Amino acid sequence: MFGFGRLASYDYFVHLERALGERLRAVGEEIETHVVQVSPTASIRRRALKLTELIASTCGEGGEAGPIHLIGHSTGGLDARLVASPSAVLAVPAEVLAWRARLASVTTINAPHYGTPLASFFTTVSGERMLRALSALTVVGLSLGSTPLSIVGALIALFGRMDKAVGLDLKLLDRTTEGLLRTIDEVRGHEIRDYIDSIKEDNGAMVQLMPEAMDLFIAGVEDRPGVLYQSTASMAPPPSPRTFVKSLGGRWSAASGVLFDVLYGITSRYDRRYPCGAPELADGDGQVLLARAFGRVPGFRENDGVVPIRSQIWGTLVWAGYADHLDVLGHFEGGKRAVAPDAGVAQPPHVDWLCSGSSFDQDRFGTMLDAIASGLLSSARTSR
């Protein structure tokens, strides 16, 4: 949700890909990484087919054949689980799936395994328009570092009214979004506009990520025997009056914080029949990890601004902490542009466009990646 592969010369997963690669190479592993470019809101099955095709075309044969690891953030985690599932019917030739015999692990990062209330909202007419606006803000916020505050302010005002479901002016929303896209076109060309328009053309994933629909996904998608399933889970601090006070300053971060508060509120909605999480946590170690990270086991309403934290847990929980939905990919406030010590090449700076007050930083990012890398290494040894 909101994500992309490479767009307008910006790599969405660049921080995660580089930092994880550094850890694996540091212990002598030879690795090859590929980022899958999928339609942002297409159905999980359509996205999974794209994933399958990329793996089949890049995994190598014979002496090149090694263990394969799938790492999915947000909806990408569900794509990975569907591809790995022995019960999935993907309607592709058997040879296209032959690589599954080499599958060692599936890592899901803040994935909505039990759905998210935010998806239910995005299936509405006003929600679909807001999803386009949010996706546009994500692209321009990360690639440019900011966007015109006048446009952000208009969107925030509309968001507040939208959440109350009172008098949302869809024409005004469309004009505001169009103004943002024109700003992007001037800087980045029409590539981003085409990407945002694809959300209007195919919104299947939003229907499938509704808690009621994910209830069926859980019943029909099986874990593959012998494969490690590990996950990370995070939540942001609940919005407080302090957020509103900050918004009076008119700064980009303050405006973004108000926007996050609205997302958090929608995602915190709770239905006891479809609670966006397993009623009980089966993994005792996972409960200990949650209690250590937050001082208690979080409830069903607490979330990262997009996905409830209890919905993010699948398989072995390897890391938990305070972070929002984009922090965990390296999209947090990171100061000046860094230089890779081994290559002498400038790396993209860490940009925190969705300000949640989580205080996520480089140290927490590193701790999370250490935990993920440890699981990948153990599963690779087992597969060999």
Number of domains in the chain: 1
Report yes or no on 127 lying in a domain.
Answer: no
Higher pLDDT, 179 or 292: 292
Alpha carbon dihedral 66, 83, 43, 46, in 10-degree steps, equals 70
Q: Would you state the pLDDT for residue 41?
A: 80
Work out whether the CA dihedral 251, 184, 347, 104 comes out positive or negative.
Answer: positive
pLDDT tens digits for range 158-198: 555 554 543 455 566 666 667 666 766 665 566 777 777 77
In the predicted structure, residue 203 carries a pLDDT above the cut 80: no
* Adjacent-strand bridge partners of 232: 109, 319
* pLDDT, mean of residues 329-335: 81
| Edge-to-edge strands, sheet with 103-109 | 68-73, 103-109, 228-235, 316-322
What is the spatial distance between Cα 376 and Cα 382, in angstroms, rounded to a whole number? 10
What is the spatial distance between Cα 327 and Cα 351, in angstroms, rounded to a whole number? 9
Residue 66: partners with Cβ closer than 8 Å, 6 or more residues away: 30, 60, 102, 380
Report yes or no on 159 lying in a domain.
Answer: no
pLDDT band at residue 95 under the 50/70/90 scheme: confident
Angle between helix 149-163 and 125-144 (nearest 10): 150
CATH code for the domain in which residue 86 is found: 3.40.50
Report yes or no on 86 lying in a domain.
Answer: yes
Domain interval for residue 356: 6-115+209-235+267-383
Could you tell me the CA-to-CA distances from 246 to 153, 166, 304, 383 in Å, in that order? 14, 25, 20, 51
Q: How many residues does the chain have?
A: 384
Residue 75: partners with Cβ closer than 8 Å, 6 or more residues away: 1, 3, 44, 47, 111, 112, 205, 209
* pLDDT, mean of residues 291-311: 95
**Helix locations, 40-109, DSSP H:** 44-58, 75-84
Report yes or no on 23 lying in a domain.
Answer: yes
Q: Would you state the pLDDT for residue 338?
A: 44
Q: Would you state the pLDDT for residue 366?
A: 97
What is the spatial distance between Cα 70 and Cα 80, in angstroms, rounded to a whole number? 6
Report yes or no on 364 lying in a domain.
Answer: yes
Q: Would you state the pLDDT for residue 340?
A: 47
Report yes or no on 220 lying in a domain.
Answer: yes
Report yes or no on 137 lying in a domain.
Answer: no
In the predicted structure, residue 65 carries a pLDDT above the cut 90: no
Say if residues 222 and 87 touch (Cβ distance below 8 Å).
yes
- Mean of the per-residue pLDDT values of the chain: 82
* DSSP letter, residue 72: E
* pLDDT, mean of residues 210-228: 95
Report yes or no on 146 lying in a domain.
Answer: no
